[in-house]
Structure 1
Amino acid sequence: MNGIDDKTVVRDYFNATGFDRWRRIYGDGEVNTVQLDIRTGHQQTVDTVLAWLKADDKLSELTICDAGCGVGSLSIPLAQAGAVVSASDISEKMVGEAKERAVAIGLPSNPSFSVQDLETLSGNYHTVICLDVLIHYPSDQAMDMIKNLSSLANDRLILSFAPKTFLLTILKKIGEFFPGPSKATRAYQHREAEVVRALESCGFKIQRSAMTSTRFYYSRILEAVRG
């Protein structure tokens, strides 16, 4: 499956059956054991990034791009903390859900939401964040996406991705990495060294890193700043 096909699959999936499934996972309603584990892992990743940004004590001064915002799990708390947030997602339904959630808690205009994919995003922001998106794309396309995201970030880029390690590759092969009932797009792992090289080629250096690991959710988080 080539990159274009992967993007079409992702868009169609998150505008159809995937939307209902992942809206539940990223919500607070009842889900099965696997989905609850993934919800917990994703929230830990979001909490790690929020903690990094809040530790810098400048959120109210920042413009932030949340690329691949889903239902607003990160965009909304960032806006609540005072940041000016531009959020986007490839899925129109996800963006619609994120807007509804923001309006419901009194955030009608910040974050601002749009339907876009990572390769067509434009603009300039202090910080660009892309969480749990690169897993949907093969390495060559993911590296191109990282380069475009880097061009939007004036100071900092934060990424999360499923790391390619021997253990996780084995788990994935035997069906324990991302079980079918909870995910229906291809799950691509990426070598951390390759991601770091892509960032460094765009003038960034790694400042902080973390790993989220639950039973069914694995995510490496990198914060890169302009060197």
Structure 2
Amino acid sequence: MTATIKNKIDDKTVVKEYFNATGFERWRNIYGNGTVNKVQLDIRKGHQQTIDKVVKWLKDDGNLSQLSICDAGCGVGSLTIPLAQEGATVFASDISAKMVGEAAEKIKQVMTNPTNVRLAVQDLESIRGEYDTVICLDVLIHYPTEDAAQMIGHLASLAKSRLILSFAPKTAFLTALKKIGEFFPGPSKTTRAYQHKEADIIKILEDNGFTIKRRDMTSTSFYYSRLLEAVR
């Protein structure tokens, strides 16, 4: 077994176990309305800004209700819910069964008989099907670039016309923050945190037949996320 494959298995195992255990409560609070500290509140606001930007992009195109969308790594449904409420047909999956269960509960609370949403417990590379748009937000931070390349390649094969990704950009400033423990704070943070060079992610997308259409950056005190929209 090569080091890359072994690392990939280890990362997936760590992520799955973390978000089904101590990480579930922590991130359910951050992504929801639970009690959080100042740092977690900042991360909540940053994550929501990224969600809002993606929803605005899709709404601005004027055809959201006609789209089939894959929300890969859906978490507690922060993106799935507004997309479904706008009429899109959404397939949402996450590696964590607890996260998917929470997403299902949230959907029941805000939507009556949501026939346009389907949920599944799956890692990114187990997803099958074909979708107008594939979206993967704040997931690649858990995997090194070589593994992210394989994941992006698979997601690209599912997307008929568009792939939207977010990732922690690799810069000297953010690397320094990470090293001194300020970038990913919290004693319950147990997954690895990987940054990616924007040029590397763009190259991966281009190698899979996509070009960049729109990009944005969300920066708060503790949340940094580069957002890319790539189209065929």
Q: By the TM > 0.5 criterion, same fold?
A: yes
Once the 2 structures are TM-superposed, how far is the Cα of residue 105 of structure 1 from its aligned partner?
1.4
Once the 2 structures are TM-superposed, how far is the Cα of residue 29 of structure 1 from its aligned partner?
2.5
Q: 1:196-215 CA distances to partner (integer Å, 9 max, x unpaired)?
A: 00000010000000000001
1:54 — aligned with what? 59
Q: In the TM superposition, what are the counterparts of 1:33-112 in structure 2 within 5 Å?
A: 33-107=38-112, 108-112=114-118
User: Distance in 2 between the 1:182 and 1:109 partners?
Assistant: 36
* TM-score calculated relative to the size of structure 2: 0.95
The total of aligned residue pairs comes to: 226
1:192 — aligned with what? 198
Identity percentage over the alignment? 69
Name stretches of at least 5 consecutive residues in structure 1 with no aligned partner: none
Contact 2:141-2:194 within 8 A present in 1 as well: yes
User: Distance in 2 between the 1:132 and 1:175 partners?
Assistant: 19
User: Distance in 1 between the 2:116 and 2:185 partners?
Assistant: 35
Q: In the TM superposition, what are the counterparts of 1:122-133 in structure 2 within 5 Å?
A: 122-133=128-139
Which stretch of the first structure deviates more once superposed, 24-33 or 7-16? Answer: 24-33
* TM-score calculated relative to the size of structure 1: 0.97
Q: 1:162-194 CA distances to partner (integer Å, 9 max, x unpaired)?
A: 000111111110111111336321110001111
1:207 — aligned with what? 213
User: Aligned Cα RMSD in Å?
Assistant: 1.0
Answering whether residue 138 of structure 2 is matched by residue 138 of structure 1, we say no
Determine helix, strand or coil for the equivalent of 2:90. strand
Q: 1:99-148 CA distances to partner (integer Å, 9 max, x unpaired)?
A: 01001112443321000001111110000000000000111111100000
Q: 1:47-88 CA distances to partner (integer Å, 9 max, x unpaired)?
A: 000010010010110000000000000000000001000000
Name stretches of at least 5 consecutive residues in structure 2 with no aligned partner: 1-5
